[in-house]
Structure 1
């Protein structure tokens, strides 16, 4: 399993747009073989940082999902929310692998 952690710098004035953007991507990840663990928006402290976590069974599965970016109309529509609203100032992705009780070394 591979988990993607995304750190967003968002426009605090565009929280509603960011939430629309987030709901669309949750649905797309889940529809295309991943499991979205949610978006986490500011509640206290810094008001311009948000996070997302989602997993795919493998990096190859994630790469198949990424092939739809810029091609699939639903992916384009989800990105349009971000682009037209300016809700995301920047983001960075990190790929992680879980270590859990019972996972092998």
Structure 2
């Protein structure tokens, strides 16, 4: 497999986490809707439906924040790599190959 860019990996991981988070929110919503369906009185039904709605809203909001943070991180990484490729470091001056000789004084 060819070497993958880190920004692509970040986006793939975020996409997978987004899907998992939304699936968990839907599962939680379905749980509360099932409880609402089996509730005996109208107050309990509306309370469970309200909880289900809020669970889905909070889950999707968290997933969107996660996706946005991952996109920002991936964009930042890609931008810094592009800048690093265009910026050429200054060349260091070549070292002299001839060694200087030290004369000893006799005396």
Higher relative contact order (CA 8 A, sep 6+): 1
In terms of fraction of residues, the more helix-rich structure is 2
- TM normalised by structure 1 equals 0.29
- TM normalised by structure 2 equals 0.29
| Bigger radius of gyration among the two | 2
In terms of fraction of residues, the more strand-rich structure is 1
